Structure 1
Amino acid sequence: MDVLSDVITVARTGRPRSAYVRWHAPWGQQFASVPGSAGFQVILEGSCWLLSPPAAPLRLGAGDVLFVPHGRGHTLADNPATAVTVPACAPDDPELPESCASDSVGQLGRDGPVTVVLCGAYQLDPSRTHPLLLTMPDLIHLPADPGRHPELLAAVQLLAAETGSPRLGTSATVPALLDTLLMYILRIWLAEQPTHGSTTGWAAALNDPAVTAALHAVHRDPAAPWTVAKLAAEAGLSRAAFARRFSALIGQPPLGYLTWWRLTMAARLLQATQAPLRSIAAQVGYTSEFAFANAFKRTHGLAPGAYRRRS
């Protein structure tokens, strides 16, 4: 696994949800704030306005993507002056009823011009959210630009086809396509961040070959007996130079990040599997179950067994 793949895999809980909705003007939909979630809207046809005070209204057109990494509330409407209602089925709510599952096709509004929107949502575990997601702004707008982002356009078109006309295999296809779309959104956002002269932040870190090599090594094999010297060798730097560069970009020292990642992986394994504690401890680099339990409790506030029972 690489860092960006793990950002999605580790933080997500449950099944991603999506809905394909046709809105006929006049319409307005409020998406309530849902902490512990990430959502997106893709404008497939027509246009609408993003209303997110105190920012000025923003017009969205076909092909535009709106990503909401922290579940912030916002509103979409055919016109900034349209009265906004809150429908019973809000597609970015992680607690959607089954009628709004990934094969949902809805139609709202009257008989005015049509706007077609693909909505999706992920439920995230705050205790496992990667710091890369935490550094992202509340709302990210990626304007339609097929020439620059053909892979994003392809993912959107495939999702629109599956959710707009469900068929055999759609239930298996849509979650994979949602993950693909999210991956492309993250790639594009990272690539567009200014890194020249930047000394901190994940965008700068993932554009630094030395730090990226060390991060990939940790994510590829978290159980390895890593030391600062071994990670520096992966990065091709001296121990001191590597430690300074890693800490400056990531915001914590190399072994601090390694410990956080190991215990984040352990939390996921405790929730997703019934593996014995000694097996999980070994998978994340602890030779002693006792040492693992102490480290886990310091980070998560619960012993591993209690954490699993609560989950």
Structure 2
Amino acid sequence: MEPTDRLDALLRRFGVQAQQFFDGNLCDRRRFEPLPGRGFLHILRAGSMAVDDGAGTGRWLSEPTLLFYPRAHDHTFTPGAGRGVDLACATLAFEGGASHPLVAALPDVVSVPIREVAGLEATLDLLASEIDAGACGHRHIVDRLFEIVLLKLLRHVLDRPGEHGINTGMIGGLADPQIARALGAIHAEPGEAWTLETLAREAAMSRSAFAARFRELVGATPHGYLTEWRITVGKQLLARQLPVSEVAATLGYTGSSFARVFAQREGCSPRDWATASTTPEG
């Protein structure tokens, strides 16, 4: 079986953009206040510091480390005595904010020593050289390189979700090569008339074995996950002000069936949800 790209379809539909805001030596305590709809990616390149994640969960980092906060999360860094820490930081704008599928599936913080992330050194070397060079367009290149660092980190998490406290859910399913193929198919083509049989075929498994493993790893039935993914995509399209009838057709529903399923899960009609999501707060 050929390997599947576990992130491609998901990130094509729900993107992420990085924006660097700090690079250099951090000598004093600094608090990073939560930004609505934004995450953080920090690269501790050298030095030691205390990390307070805002819930009394202090940690001490003494080796080069990636710190990833998928959601708006209050955190504070306190460098150790001496020369401070060498740090590079970026904010992350996930499409859909906290409802971005990856953001919703990840813990509040992911902390990984850089030495454990395969293939990261060359990217970090290029990132440092672009920051130092300051040539035209370097900010755009730096931001894209932060996104590459994030993708390499996500690969690492998908290869060992249990190490980060992720035992079930979308990440758990994407960590399994066969279930990942079915999830990738759902992510890429939510409007397809998927059945247990066709999804099991994508995973190259029998229907019974597929259904059991899917539920064990993802924590939902294949049909339940498909429905939730369709609603997630539907809300994205509604927020872009696409007509309800067009959204329904894109997701394989009639207008009335989409309205019924949507209301069961969201407590309101698609049209009312779209109106509320595009109405400025007073």
TM-score range (shorter-chain normalised) is 0.7 to 0.9
The whole-number CA distance in structure 1 between the counterparts of 2:252 and 2:7 is 21
Residue in structure 1 matching 2:114, options 129, 144, 149: 144
Classify the secondary structure of the residue corresponding to 2:120.
Answer: helix
Residue 60 of structure 2: which of 42, 58, 61 is its match? 58
Alignment equivalent of 1:22, drawn from 1, 24, 28:
24
Q: CA deviation at 1:242?
A: 1.6
Tell me the SS of whatever aligns to 1:237.
coil
Residue number in structure 1 paired with 2:204: 236
Contact between 1:20 and 1:163, CA under 8 Å: does it hold in 2?
no
Q: Which residue, out of 91, 116, 128, partners 2:86?
A: 116
Map 1:271-290 → 2, pairs under 5 A: 271-272=239-240, 274-286=241-253, 288-290=254-256
Whether 1:206 and 2:174 are equivalent positions in the alignment is yes
SS of residue matched to 2:114: coil
Q: Distance in 1 between matches of 2:159 and 2:190?
A: 26
Select the residue among 191, 194, 206 that pairs with 2:159.
Answer: 191
Q: Which has the higher helix share?
A: 2
Change (3 A) 1:59 1:295: same
User: Match of 1:87?
Assistant: none
Return the letter of the residue paired with 2:244: L
Q: TM-score with structure 2 length normalisation?
A: 0.79
Alignment partner, residue 40 of structure 2 = 39
Percent of residue pairs identical:
29
Distance (Å, rounded) in 2 between the aligned partners of 1:266 and 1:202 = 18
For residues 118 and 221 of structure 2, the distance between their equivalents in structure 1, rounded to whole angstroms, comes to 37
Name structure 1 gaps, 5 residues minimum.
81-111
- When normalised by structure 1's length, the TM-score is 0.73
Are 1:261 and 2:229 matched, yes or no? yes
Higher relative contact order (CA closer than 8 Å, sequence separation 6+) = 1
Question: CA offset at residue 180 of structure 1?
Answer: 1.9
Name the amino acid aligned to 2:120.
L
Q: Output the amino acid matched with 2:71.
A: H
Partners of 1:163 and 1:297 in 2: how far apart? 49
Q: 1:73: which partner in 2?
A: 74
Decide whether the 8 Å contact of 2:21 with 2:89 is kept in 1.
yes
Give the whole-Å Cα distance in 2 for the aligned partners of 1:60 and 1:6. 36
Mean Cα deviation higher: 167-176 or 117-126: 167-176
